[in-house]
Amino acid sequence: MSVQERKQRERAGRERLIVATARELAEQQGWDAVTTRRLAERIEYSQPVLYSHFRGKREIIGAVALEGAAEMAAAVRASAPSANSPRERVAALARTYLDFAARNPAVYDAMFQLDGGLAFAQEDTPEPLKDAFAALLECLGEVAGDGVAPGLFTEVFWASLHGIATLTRTGRLPPQDTELRVELLVNRLAMV
């Protein structure tokens, strides 16, 4: 292995460590607790080393969001094969999405609430974000209905799931009714 390859591997390792540490700290104490000073202390590198990887907290949030998008896409895709019908696939997708949001609140915030400097629904949208949407579209496109654009239907269904996830987490919807909301969403909106 060349010196250059070793340095690239070490750099990639430091970057993964920074992102993992930021994610852990955000999940434990919230994003306000994530500062470059605190991250530097936790990973035992200087702040200039952090800045050699990320220009600041915004880019770190973006990196966490991209990692989360890849994880969510994988989880959504993993939920579909066990279902026997389009209705079951849509219900499994909804449950998986809501479970991901509930289990990873800081990551979910990085993906959809905080400014990570990422473009959404544009040509320069990063691939992990496009792939997360594609994972939803793969399941929902088949139930969009005649004359309904599958992408538009997926956006509306996703917006509904996001609303349920956000309103439940902030205590504006009672969590014990989440399954009823999923059933209503699947039965009425997806009509499968």
Sorting pLDDT into bands at 50, 70 and 90, what band is 192? low
What is the pTM for the complete model shown? 0.93
pLDDT tens-digit readout, 56-105: 999 999 999 999 999 999 999 999 888 889 999 999 999 999 999 999 99
Whether 19 shows a pLDDT value over 90: the answer reads yes
Q: What is the pLDDT of residue 25?
A: 97
Q: Which helix (H) or strand (E) holds 188?
A: none
Distance CA 190, CA 144 (A): 7
Sorting pLDDT into bands at 50, 70 and 90, what band is 171? very high
Q: What is the pLDDT of residue 102?
A: 97
19-50 burial, b at 16+ Cβ within 10 Å, e below that, comes to: bebbbebbbeeebeebebeebbeebebeeebb
Q: What is the pLDDT of residue 76?
A: 96
How high does pLDDT run on average in the chain? 94
Burial class (CB in 10 A: 0-12, 13-18, 19+), 123: exposed
